[in-house]
Amino acid sequence: MIGLRLRQLVFASIIALIAYVFLANVMFPASMGMALDSYSLTIVGKYLCFAMLAVALDLVWGYCGILSLGHAAFFSLGGYAMGMYLMRQIGERGTYGHPVLPDFMVFLNWEQLPWFWYGFDAFWFAGLMIFFAPGILAFVFGWFAFRSRVSGVYLSIITQALTYALMLAFFRNEMGFGGNNGLTDFKDLLGYPLTSDGVRVWLMLSSGLALLLSLFLCQKLLATKFGRVLVAVRDSESRTRFLGYRVEHFKLVAFVMSAMIAGLAGALYVPQVGIINPGEFSPLASIEVVVWVALGGRGSLYGAALGAIVVNAAKTFFTGFYPEAWLFFLGAMFVISTLYLPRGILGALEDLAQQVRGKAPKLSQEGLS
Amino acid sequence: MVRVGSFIFSLFFLFQVASAQTFVQGKALADASLKEKAVWMEKLASDDSEEATRILQYWLDGILVYWPQENRLVRGIKEGRRYQLQDLMTEEALGAVSSREIDRVKTNNSLRSALKQVLGSRQLGSSDRNVRLSAIAELKRRPDYKVLPLLKKREASEQDDQVARQLSELIGLVLLESAEANDQMEGLRRISGGLSPEVKDSLSRFLLNPNLDPGVVEVAQRELDAITRSLMYWGIGQDLFFGLSLGSVLLLAAIGLAITFGVMGVINMAHGEFIMLGAYTTFVIQQWIPATSMWSLLISIPTAFVVSGTAGIILERLVIRHLYGRPLETLLATFGVSLILQQLVRTVFGPLNQSVVTPDLLSGALDINAAFSVTYNRLFVIAFALCVLVTLWGVMQRTPFGVRVRAVTMNRGMASSMGVQTQRVDALSQLTNVGPNLGQSYIVDSFMVVVFGGVGNLFGTVFAALSLGVANKMLEPLSGAVLAKILILVFIILFIQKRPRGLFALKGRAAED
């Protein structure tokens, strides 16, 4: 199967990337200047986080038929959880030098820490919240939505409403998350300064490992009976229900798991870019994730990861050299990928490979519509 | 000694000449201390002539200057570093001088408010009723017992009903300043039913006075309660009207979306950009035809309609028709189109907002009372939405085309087997995408409206748009604009759980899956 080989190729190249950075930047940093500089490290680390977000979305969209237009909300919640930990680590080094309160709270004349900021000075607690904050939101939202059988475009629209409402809420100073400036000016993570090259390397490496881990976990999950039922739900929800499966439970588990992966991606993203603000919640951000998945190949975890990396590399290129053209290009990618590449880049490559070998392309598209 | 001497001399001078005709020699005024200036002002106030009025007005505006070279008062308007001098009466240009060659007649805050008082009571005699009304409004801010005789005199000769009513209210406010219980009662009687903030403030202040007669206090308290109550009712009415106009805007934005979704099963994410195209059409037309004329509006509405409609047909032909039956893919493809359109507009017109001028006919407001006014452009939006709605309803219910559209909405397969050309219906139904000057920011809101009201249902969309608009405006004063919006969104998210197909779900005959 050439398709399998393409997937292995994606997997192998992520491993190769991690191995290269590990060898060149950690083991033998002095040898021959092969090490990546911190700018490229940050860029690569960012792409890996986005790839993870794409995998999370593909799990629910590609395998369960839930088109979420609000996945950036889970990503940002994970990011905010990490950001709150990093804010607490600043301590007295802030502009106002307050031992407990972050700068923006001192600026707003707040007397004490709001209750939901307690515990974020401990890394283990923040680490739990990275999963629980998006997970609980996904659980509550999904519980209500799937139980009352909200599906299709209605679900997409209300996920969009969810992230839009969160964006408006986080823009408010009264919420206690830094208003429109968000959280920034981070100093260090686990006692190591964030700006140092060593920390950047390890952040990038952990992003890569987290991506591999989530790919691996999702793949294992989809290979079980549970995964088969998910695909059945995607292809025909009513029939699966009539066969006696509690469809809403399957959807809920997939949705919560996806939200947690997205949260982890957000948490790894924030220390690398050094800021989190409510703009990350914007509906446009969520929809961009959808195009990564659509372009890479919906219903293929590796395709989704590949799509995220390709689109973001294109974005870096265009916004750097032709900022005017970026939206034209992104828009065109939406149209082209939906019209001509229903199974994304990876799917198209697979079909091509099979045609070269003289076989008819797989007819597995109708289930994806 | 010299100062006092010159003051006495100038007073003497003023009494001597009495009329302002000779008052053009203003060195004394320019040099006078603030206390002396107050005396000068009193003198000028008692002079009825046009020139005295002008001097007072220019003094208030800070453009009254003394010109030593010709030894008279002139009007000096600062232009850059120089002053353009004009004759007080004829406004004939007298040349430009530097600031060292003239003396400005300065004022301070207390003088300025006294000047306003004097000018205000003077304008009460103006022949222009708008001038009289604004003078009354000015005097209401600081009711002064001293002007009472003048006001009474004016009231006797006032012809205009509205002005007379306002004047009576003003006299009421002035009478509250009196120490006599009778006067106070008369004042209360006069201001009864007034809703302006000045009346409410004066009453609240009046009640703080400890030396009031108990009977007066009782009446005043009753009046204040009545005013507070009716202000509340009018406030609700105002919110309702704002809500209706916001709802109409939402309706215009959402109705096309509802139809495309209902008829074609297609979510058109580029709908907001069609609205934007319509708005930019209006903007372009205003560059050609002066925006203030009614023609500009009359031309831009149908043109915007055609432009957006054409864009809709092109979109349908090129993209949407390849994706029928796959709503999620259509959503993504149209979103791509919306990004392209956004960038196109940004490239052509620049990233900054372009202002579209409201035609004169639509600016301004109809004041029903102090607490309730209806702005014409809001009224126009409501009326326009109503027209669009009625037309659309007529088309849908009374024409063969409408019958086909409804047939396709209910069951695409069945309708096409009955010989309806579904494709043509689809292409034409895109034509309804238009609204007047709306921003693309309405897109999320209009989706909410469609989802809330139920898809493909005109009545549901109308109901949803209006109720969401009103709810939004009602919540705003209670919780602030952003929180109101969040509450509405949360409400819709919860509501969808209860009715997954919207408020008025269409009883379709198509089975699910």
The 10s digit of each residue's pLDDT in B133-171 is 777 777 777 777 767 777 777 777 777 777 777 777 777
Query: Which residues of chain A from 306 to 365 reach within 8 Å of chain B, CB to CB?
Result: 324, 326-328, 330-335, 337-339, 342
Q: Is residue A344 within 8 Å of A297, Cβ to Cβ?
A: yes
Partners of residue B326 in chain A, C-beta under 8 Å: 369
Asked if A331's CB is within 8 angstroms of B489's CB, the reply is no
Task: Report the run of H or E that residue B82 belongs to, with start and end.
Answer: strand B82-86
pLDDT at A53: 94
pLDDT per position as a tens digit, B317-375: 787 777 776 777 777 788 888 888 878 877 777 665 555 555 555 555 566 665 566 67
Tell me which residue of B467, B447, B391, B495 sits closest to B260, measured CA to CA: B447
Amino acid at B303: T
pLDDT at B262: 65
| Strand-pair partners of B93 | B86
Asked if A141's CB is within 8 angstroms of B444's CB, the reply is no
Nearest CB to B327 within list A153, A160, A291: A153
| ipTM of predicted assembly, 2 dp | 0.74
Asked if A369's CB is within 8 angstroms of B325's CB, the reply is yes
- CB environment B324-359: b (16+ within 10 A), e (fewer): bebbbbbbbbbbbbbbbbbbebeeeeeeeeeebebb
Query: Which residues of chain A from 222 to 281 reach within 8 Å of chain B, CB to CB?
Result: 236-239
- CB environment B401-411: b (16+ within 10 A), e (fewer): eeebbbbbbbe
pLDDT at B22: 46
- CB environment B201-215: b (16+ within 10 A), e (fewer): ebbeebeeeeebeee
| Of A331-345, B4-18, B96-110, B444-458, minimum mean pLDDT range | B4-18
| Of A36-50, B16-30, B418-432, minimum mean pLDDT range | B418-432
Asked if A158's CB is within 8 angstroms of B492's CB, the reply is yes
Query: Per-residue pLDDT averaged across B462-491, rounded?
Result: 77
Q: How far apart are CA A294 and CA A367, in angstroms?
A: 15
Query: Per-residue pLDDT averaged across B79-92, rounded?
Result: 77
| Any B CB within 8 A of A145 CB | yes
Q: What is the edge-to-edge ordering of all strands in the sheet holding B82-86?
A: B93-98, B82-86, B72-79, B64-67, B103-104
Per-residue pLDDT of chain A (369 residues), as tens digits, is 455 566 777 777 888 888 777 777 666 666 556 666 778 888 888 999 999 999 999 999 989 888 888 899 999 999 999 998 988 888 777 777 777 788 788 777 787 788 888 888 888 998 999 999 999 999 999 988 888 777 777 788 788 888 888 888 888 888 888 888 888 878 777 777 777 777 888 888 889 899 999 998 998 999 999 999 999 988 888 898 899 899 889 999 999 999 999 999 999 999 888 888 888 888 888 888 988 888 888 888 888 888 898 889 888 888 888 877 888 888 888 888 888 877 777 777 777 777 777 655 454 444 443
pLDDT at A303: 85
Does this model's pTM top 0.80? My answer is no
